[in-house]
Amino acid sequence: MPCFTRAAQYPQVPAGIDSTTKIYFDVKVLKVESLEKMKKDAAAKAEKLKGEEAGKLEQFLKANSITTAPLASGIYFVESKAGSGKLIQKGEMVKMEFAVSTSDGKKVFSTADRKQPITFEYGKPFDTKGFDEAIGMMKKGSKVRVIVPSIMAFGEKGRKDMSGNDIVPPFSTIVYDVEILDIQSKAQADKEKAAAEAKSKGEAKAAESKEPVEIQKFLKEKNISVKPTASGLYYVEKVKGKGARAMKGNKVSVQYTGKLFDGTVFDSSLDHKPAKPLEFVIGTGSVIPGWDEAISLMNEGGKATVIIPSKLAYGASGSGEKIKPFTPLVFDLELVKVSNK
């Protein structure tokens, strides 16, 4: 859910939330100013940055001992490792690791952070004109730093997020560190993609058939003897809460740790910085069904462990890299607070 991570500025989507979730935000207005003043301030800022760009670029080149002359377009192509074979052609699928930053050191993006390379079709717009030009000069195995002045990057507009904040300020020189991992024809890439999808479907089907057995095995290993609810949820109360009972329509605050059956923790409110409970309203579809049901069995101050079958969690879709399709989940829950909306 990119909208959640961008708007809420969370490092990852909290447990219990998926692509069907309705999300409510409390908004506080910090500043009000006229459109005319906003435009005037933005223009002044852009003019200042325009005047500073050449100096920042020169400083970056000097600090990194780059003596390579710029190409006719103005970009700098600094190769640290030569590739082999032919140059990348339009229409080919390019798999790469790359990082993007500004010349003053602000990191914009890195495939290393998401731990997954990017594949794109060369010839279709990808990022900037300077980047596209550089890719056409590379081969499989090439490792290159590309310095792209704003005229070949995001120019006077820069790039903004959904809130209007600068991701890349106007008149920013962009620095790309690129390594080409593989090059394929589109037909070959499509064939591999289809094979991977078929494999994924097969694995999902196998996981669906094994899930009931896996749940029973887990219950036996953990000596859990409680009976499931009508929906299939297993609720193991650890501490009986003495406060109000959580009911549909209540706003609740919950500390949680979500785990797979092998003990892998995929999310925990205790690990967030700053650590804080997850707040939501019961019965509004803002969390997975298993959460709505489990919390409705608790009183304020209560603690419980719940085993949630995939049909009450992320089902056939899974969530992220760790939660595969048809994966049952374990949550340690603490109901911190119950209140009316």
What does the block give as tokens for 163?
């809130």
Q: At 56, phi and psi to the nearest 5? A: -65, -40
For 25-81, what is each residue's pLDDT tens digit? 667 777 777 788 777 877 787 788 888 899 999 999 999 999 999 999 999 999 999
Instruction: State how far the Cα of 204 lies from the Cα of 202, in Å rounded to an integer.
Output: 5
pLDDT tens by residue, 165-203:
889 999 999 999 999 999 998 888 888 889 988 998 898
Q: Scanning the structure block, which residue is given the tokens 């301030």?
A: 41
Longest dimension (CA), the chain: 74
| Burial grade of 290 (CB within 10 A; 0-12, 13-18, 19 or more) | buried
The answer to whether residues 146 and 178 touch, using CB atoms and an 8 Å cutoff, is yes
Q: What are phi and psi of 298, to 5 degrees?
A: -110, 160
Q: For tokens 């959640």, what's the residue?
A: 4
35-184 with 209-340: one CATH topology? yes
Q: Is the dihedral of CA 194, 195, 200, 206 positive or negative?
A: positive
pTM: 0.57
- Residue 268 structure tokens: 């925990």
* Protein fold of 209-340: Chitinase A; domain 3 (3.10.50)
Show me where the domains of the chain are located. Answer: 35-184, 209-340
- Is the bond into 149 cis (omega within 30 degrees of 0)? no
Q: Which CATH number fits domain 35-184: 3.40.50.10490, 1.10.10.10, 3.40.50.300, 3.10.50.40?
A: 3.10.50.40
Terminal C-alpha separation, the chain: 25
